[in-house]
Chains A and B, each alone.
Chain A
Amino acid sequence: MSRPEDTLPPDLFYNDTESRKYTTSSRIQKIQSSMTHRALSLLSLRSPSLILDVGCGSGLSGEILSQTADEGTPGGPHIWIGFDISSSMLGVALEKEVEGDLFLADAGQGVPFRPGTFDAAISISAIQWLCNAESSEESPAGRLSRFFGGLYASLRRGGRAVCQFYPKNDEQKKMVSQAAVKAGFGAGLLEDDMGTKNAKVYLVLTVGGGDLDGDITGVVRGMDGVDVMDARRKAARKRGEEQKGSKQWILRKKDQMEKKGRVVKASSKYTGRKRRVQF
């Protein structure tokens, strides 16, 4: 199936008919609600909070946020503020009389709230749209950085954001997560049903918070069968620990070259040894 992101910009793609189709399809409703519940469990909210819904659309996920704890929303009922770029989608949301406040706004233009506003943010199937630029004066990287920069500022310290999105390829996945890290977030990608057709990618973002060994977002702590891949650079080597030209240095360089596939002489006990003083 073709990706809607490749055909039209979001405000034109989700026109009246497409918005209605999207909102009334029971299949989409089911997928959206399961993803929202998953995202909420990753947010692990304990008390009623103020939540930002990025790309709220017709309020499918917002309806779940407004539910009480008895109806399956942890810490609920939450108060939410949603924004979307498609006016048709917001029209459907108005007809449904959702409880949250709605905005017509483009996430790629930033998040217009004062610092420390939200306890959490959620975004279901939206931020892949930011990877497209519709005019020559903007770029995907710029849109992503404005969005994540604004989001980072508007979340309070210790707040979390969970963004489910459909990356086109690994490159896009990397672009989105790197933009988030650059904005200051602690970021992790969680993939459900990895490798299958219905794989779901969740970008989990945290603001502040320390001492999380390896697991920067803290959401997979205590979970079974989860490998944490930490590609961040380890702390810089101490100065003077390894001198240039020393035996250690030579061995490391030889190792490096060997890994590159160069022909390297075998190491022996003479490798890196000083010659005796001649006179």
Chain B
Amino acid sequence: MKLLTLNFLTCAIKSCKSTPASFPLHPRDAELEIVEADLNILFLKNILPRLMWDELRVIGSELGLPELPSTPPTREDLVEPSTTAIAAPTSDGTRDAGEEEEEEIPTQTAKDLHRVLLETCIKEGKLVCGNCGHEYKVLEGVANFLLPGHLV
């Protein structure tokens, strides 16, 4: 399970819905793996405002990952500042050239973010709710969120 998913996952038990402690779920005895994936800069830009950065840092430190910066990156941090933007298009020829170079170059920040969110996966372990202490088992990257009837 990707860390991106963990940044959105809450406890499934009804009584935990109203308490803030049910998010994030804390990984325990986690076994990590890296799954290579293609960098998708548009997706990163899209998801960035929805990330809970502080919780991501907490999870990162619990998993023993290198510490993340204290402030979340902005959308501008993700792409290399383009040089074509300064050179205003004067004729049709230069404008075409500018459009061809629209392919945005990801910065090191974007690459790091991609590494943490989309390539770092929890393979085995448990996720523990901070409120009720319910443990969700993770096996082969698949978390078990089936609840016994009395907890629904």
A and B together in one complex: yes
A112, B118: Cβ atoms closer than 8 Å:
no
Known: A112-B10, A114-B10. A94 touches B142 (CB 8 A): yes
Stretch at the interface among A101-109, A194-202, A241-249: A101-109
- What is A's interface to B at a CB cutoff of 8 Å? 47-50, 77-79, 81, 83, 85, 90, 94, 99, 101-106, 109-110, 112-114, 116-117, 119, 135, 137-138, 146, 156
Q: Say how far B27's CB is from chain A's closest CB, in angstroms.
A: 14
B141, A137: Cβ atoms closer than 8 Å:
no
Known: A112-B10, A113-B9. A49 touches B143 (CB 8 A): no
Q: Could you tell me the distance between the alpha carbons of A103 and B46 in the complex, rounded to whole angstroms?
A: 23
Task: List residues of chain A with CB within 8 A of the CB of B140.
Answer: 94
Q: Say how far B19's CB is from chain A's closest CB, in angstroms.
A: 12
Could you give 11 example pairs across A and B, Cβ below 8 Å?
Answer: A47-B46, A81-B5, A81-B8, A94-B141, A101-B1, A103-B145, A109-B12, A110-B12, A112-B11, A113-B10, A146-B152
Task: List residues of chain B with CB within 8 A of the CB of A103.
Answer: 142-145
Task: List residues of chain A with CB within 8 A of the CB of B47.
Answer: 50, 79
A104, B43: Cβ atoms closer than 8 Å:
no
Tell me if B146 is interfacial: C-beta within 8 Å of chain A.
Answer: yes
Known: A47-B46, A116-B50. A109 touches B8 (CB 8 A): no
Q: Could you tell me the distance between the alpha carbons of A114 and B17 in the complex, rounded to whole angstroms?
A: 9
Q: Could you tell me the distance between the alpha carbons of A105 and B14 in the complex, rounded to whole angstroms?
A: 15
A114, B23: Cβ atoms closer than 8 Å:
yes
Task: List residues of chain A with CB within 8 A of the CB of B146.
Answer: 85, 104-106, 109
B42, A112: Cβ atoms closer than 8 Å:
no
Q: Of all chain A residues, which has the CB nearest B44?
A: A48
Task: List residues of chain B with CB within 8 A of the CB of A79.
Answer: 4, 40, 43, 47, 118
